Every structure is written in structure tokens, then in C-alpha cells.
Amino acid sequence: MTNIGFIGLGIMGKPMAKRLLRAGYPVTCYNRSLQAVRELVGLGAREGHSSKEVAEQSDVVITMLPNSPQVEQVVLGPDGVIDGAKPGTIVVDMSSIDPTVSRTISQKLAEKGIIMLDAPVSGGEPKAIDGTLSIMVGGPQEAFDRVRDILAAMGSSVVLVGEIGSGNVTKLANQIIVGLNIAAMSEAMVLAVKSGVDPEKVYRAIRGGLAGSNVLDAKVPLVLQGNFKPGFRIELHIKDLANALAAAHEVGVPLPLTSQVMEIMQALKVQGKAKDDHGGVIQFYETLAGVKVRKQED
């Protein structure tokens, strides 16, 4: 059985590591917060005391971290993965980061015979918990084939989309579409309420037609409850859109609608809502219109 190292046990990483344990893989984990490590150890994982130590004990090292600087630090920094990994080890970065950083890290790992895949995910905490994430992978086919079953323990869709960096380009495209869908949903539901129409009935009427989407089905029921507990925080979506805008400008692609959604999210961050679920974007529109989109009493 392949020995797996897992670094980063946050809102996404912890349930993903649990899925690997449930699938029977030996997992060595490391995280700045020891509480998450102890929880995994209680389920059968081994504790690593540094990224280097995790890599020394692993055939495959998975990282799930907030952004590019953290991935660079964990993989290439002092006591990093690069110092402990053997030639032939596969590093699978499942964080959502700048594609150019993925390529740079991959090049430095390759100098020591270490292979890297970038494999960001979509689906948020609920799909991380039930193991139905969509996983978008960039890197060599041979390495992908070696870890496909491992990734399948965490996701229902695992697709190799191209060379290293392609996974994160795909994730950025995903985040653009999700962000714009949430904004469109927000505008539509606020319009319904302001016009005196029951938003839940509007949702039921349109969800089966062309306007229906996974975003609509995932977010409207939570909005109707006023539940903005994070499955995916606004501050993380801001990070992804910042990476999307940077990558787009690098290759000469204007993203006018993405820029608008970014400013809406930035406004909510200023209002102290950065840790709300990204479905909480609707609060921006509610404030403008002076209404709240909530389930109506019968």
C-alpha cells in the first residue's frame, strides 16, 4: 500500500485526509494546528513533526494549503518536502494557487528527481466530507496514473487536463464561473423578493430549466435559511479571483465580469464578512435593495 503524507489539515484538508484513512491508506500528517493532527492520529494516522519528516516517510506527499507562499514554504523552505523526499516521490499539490508558481516549484523538485502534480479541487467542505470532489490535475500522465486511485478516494471526478499548471488554470476557470453564478443568483433572488414574489417558489420554478445549476441548488437553500456558515469562505474566493486576474493579465485576457465580482467580495470583506460562505455575496445585494432573501412563513 502506498504511504501517503498529508500536509495541511484545514477546512478542506482534514476531511480529505479522513477519506484516505477510510480507504485504508497509511497516512502521515503534519499541520501547524496540533488539534487537527491529534484528531487524525485518533483515526489511525501517524504524526509528522515537519514537512521534511512527512516526506521521508511517504511515497506520495499531498499538500492542501491556503495559497502560493505557503506551498512554496512547505515544499521548498527549510525542513521542507524537498529535503525529505526520495527521488521518484510524487508531490500532489491540491491547493489552489498561481499556475506559474506550480511550474516553478515543479522545476525545482525535478532537479532532485521528485515529480509534481497540481491537482486543485472544487466542491467545498461538503464534497470533501463525502468524497465527491472534482479534481483537476496537471502534470505527467505516468505520475497521474500512479496516484489516480488515491485521488479517487477523495473525488468523484478526477481528470488530467494537461501539463503542470493546467490543473490550477482549470480551477481558476471554475472559480470564475462559480463566482459569477453566485452573483447572478443573488441579483435574481433579490429582484424576486423586492418585487413581492416568494424566492423559494422562484427557485423551484427555474431550477429545472436553463437557469438551473449546481450553484443554484447548493446555495439558494442555505440563503433561504440565512445560513452563511462557510463551506468555502469569501476570503478564499477573493484569493482565487486575484490569481485568476493575475494569470489572465499575464496572457492578455481581460476579465471584466470577474473584476466586478471581485469588488463585491472586497466590499463584503471590508464589512467583516470575509469568513462567510461565498454564497453570502447575496448580502451585498440585500443591502443595496433593502431586503433579505429568506424563507417565507406559510
Classify residue 297 by burial, with Cβ atoms within 10 Å: 0-12, 13-18, 19+: exposed
pLDDT at 297: 79
Q: Residue 58 pLDDT more than 70? A: yes
Average pLDDT value for residue range 69-94? 98
- Cα separation values, 166 from 138, 144, 244, 268, 271, Å: 5, 13, 13, 30, 34
Rounded to an integer, what distance in angstroms lies between the CA atom of residue 174 and that of residue 50? 32
What pLDDT, on the 0 to 100 scale, is given for residue 231? 82
Q: Is the pLDDT of residue 298 over 80?
A: no
At residue 159, the pLDDT reads: 98
The confidence score (pLDDT) of residue 133 equals 97
Q: Is residue 123 very low, low, confident or very high in pLDDT (cuts 50, 70, 90)? A: confident
Determine what percent of the chain is predicted with pLDDT higher than 70: 100
Average pLDDT over residues 134-147: 98
Q: What is the pTM of this model?
A: 0.90
So what's the pLDDT on residue 57?
A: 97
Active site (catalytic) residues? 171
pLDDT tens digits, 251-296: 999 999 999 999 999 999 999 999 999 999 999 999 999 999 999 9
DSSP-derived 3-state class of residue 291: coil
* Per-residue pLDDT tens over the stretch 192-234: 999 999 999 999 999 999 999 999 999 999 999 999 998 889 9
- The model's pLDDT over 14-33, given as tens digits with 9 standing for 90+, comes to 999 999 999 999 999 999 98
Q: Which domains does the chain have, with CATH numbers?
A: 4-164 (3.40.50.720), 169-289 (1.10.1040.10)
